[in-house]
Amino acid sequence: MERKRLFWQKYSGQLLLVILILLLLVGWRALLADEFVADNGEGTAVSPTLTTPTIGAADRNRAEKEPLSELPVIEDASLSPALNPLTYQPKLPEHVFQTYTVQRGDTPKSIADQFGIESETLLGGNPFLSQESSLLQTGLDLIILPVDGVLHDVLPGETLEKLAEQFGVPMADIIAYAPNNLEFPYRLQPDTQIVIPGAVRELFIWNPPTLAEVTGRRSSGIGSGVQPVVRGTGTFVWPVISRYFTQYYWAGHRAIDVALPEGSAAVAADTGTVTYAGWNNTGYGYLIVVNHGNGYETFYAHLRGVNVAVGQVVVQGQVIGATGNTGNSSGPHIHFEVRSNGNRDDPCWYIPC
């Protein structure tokens, strides 16, 4: 017992030191297992730490407004060309029109009534009819629009705003007409046709010289204007002996056409001063215009020849020319027109038709 006691007394300090070293070794190994120690090149051990990226206020707001579920998913990482807005192609109009072949005895009103449209719409779908002194000829093929309006040929640079202003119709009406096939941003394709619902095609109007230009006479009395050389009676007689109408007054032809053999006499419907006598290149052919000095003017067109001169005074019933087939004419006839203060009235208001 004494020997054992002496052993613990003699070696107890060494035993405690060994135990302490063992404990330190075990703890150091555990520390190495839990942490990664790296050398920074200067012999100092550095333990890297993971940092959490910070999100700024702007990024946080964008993330809240654009949830990940709504962001596009790129499945193909390859490069692809972006859409070029300059290559945008609008849809093309999809029109389906009826056609009608003019029959003998047809009038613009009878054709229009047959299709439930206004006679002006014949003009809207067939712009060639708007030429002055045109004739609705037998055998002519007409485009019949399904609604009242104008069929317009789109030109480069034209916009809906410009067309709405030009024809005096709401832009919404043009867009609402389904066959026009217009969609946002409502760009028009040149060399196509669109229908302008409710529009009326304008007619070309040729105006003859005035009395002032022909006579140089001006009023010295009350008011202003021209003092005529002579005044008409205010009543009119038939300019020719025939009563065979080939075309009555309508929106596309504000006059009457009467067929008769070439060379037949054409007389002045009332007394007045000749303000035009000769060839007219707007479709009238050989034309005579008589100003009656009371606001009225009469036109005699498609003549074969004229027997009067500009500035000459003629009396009611006087022969002024011979009927013919000149200008925009499909056969021998006279185009007779009455204007009242510049307005083209129906001649049948003034002579029995």
Residue whose entry in the numeric block shows the structure tokens 């969609």: 183
186-195 confidence digits (pLDDT tens):
989 999 999 9
On whether residue 67 sits in a domain, the answer given is no
**303 shares a domain with 266:** yes
**223 shares a domain with 304:** yes
Number of domains composing the chain: 2
Tell whether omega for the bond before 209 is within 30 degrees of 0, i.e. cis.
no
On whether residue 2 sits in a domain, the answer given is no
Distance in angstroms (rounded) separating the CA atoms of residues 163 and 169: 8
CB 295 within 8 A of CB 341: yes
On whether residue 164 sits in a domain, the answer given is yes
**167 shares a domain with 121:** yes
- Whether residue 39 is predicted with pLDDT greater than 50 in this model: the reply is no
Distance in angstroms (rounded) separating the CA atoms of residues 276 and 283: 15
| Highest-scoring range by mean pLDDT, 27-36, 65-74, 186-195 | 186-195
| Res 229: pLDDT | 83
217-262 confidence digits (pLDDT tens):
554 444 445 578 899 999 999 999 999 998 889 888 899 999 999 9
Distance in angstroms (rounded) separating the CA atoms of residues 338 and 348: 9
Helix (H, G, I), strand (E, B) or coil at 348: helix
Distance in angstroms (rounded) separating the CA atoms of residues 90 and 158: 14
Query: How big is the chain by its Cα radius of gyration, in Å?
Result: 48
CATH number of the domain within which 174 lies? 3.10.350.10
Where in the sequence is the domain holding 167, given as residue range(s)? 98-197
CATH number of the domain within which 256 lies? 2.70.70.10
Residue whose entry in the numeric block shows the structure tokens 């479709």: 283
Range name among 220-234, 285-299, 305-319 with the lowest pLDDT average: 220-234
Number of Cβ within a 10 Å radius of residue 167: 20
Distance in angstroms (rounded) separating the CA atoms of residues 39 and 34: 17
CB 288 within 8 A of CB 321: yes
Of 150, 170, 197, the residue at which a domain comes to its end is 197
On whether residue 91 sits in a domain, the answer given is no
Q: Kindly state the DSSP code that residue 253 receives in the 8-state scheme.
A: B
CB 269 within 8 A of CB 351: yes
On whether residue 7 sits in a domain, the answer given is no
**317 shares a domain with 253:** yes
Of 144, 173, 197, the residue at which a domain comes to its end is 197
On whether residue 120 sits in a domain, the answer given is yes
**285 shares a domain with 175:** no
**272 shares a domain with 175:** no
**262 shares a domain with 166:** no
Give Cα 166 distance to the centre of its chain. Answer: 8
Of 197, 230, 248, the residue at which a domain comes to its end is 197
On whether residue 339 sits in a domain, the answer given is yes
- For residues 58-64, give the mean pLDDT: 53
71 compared with 164, residue with greater pLDDT: 164
Share of residues in the chain with pLDDT > 70 (%): 74
What is the four-CA torsion angle of 279, 284, 285, 290, rounded to 10 degrees? Answer: -50
- Whether residue 8 is predicted with pLDDT greater than 90 in this model: the reply is no
Residues 6+ apart with CB under 8 A from 323: 240, 260, 261, 262, 263, 264, 265, 266, 302, 303, 304, 332, 333, 334
**179 shares a domain with 240:** no
Give Cα 49 distance to the centre of its chain. Answer: 70
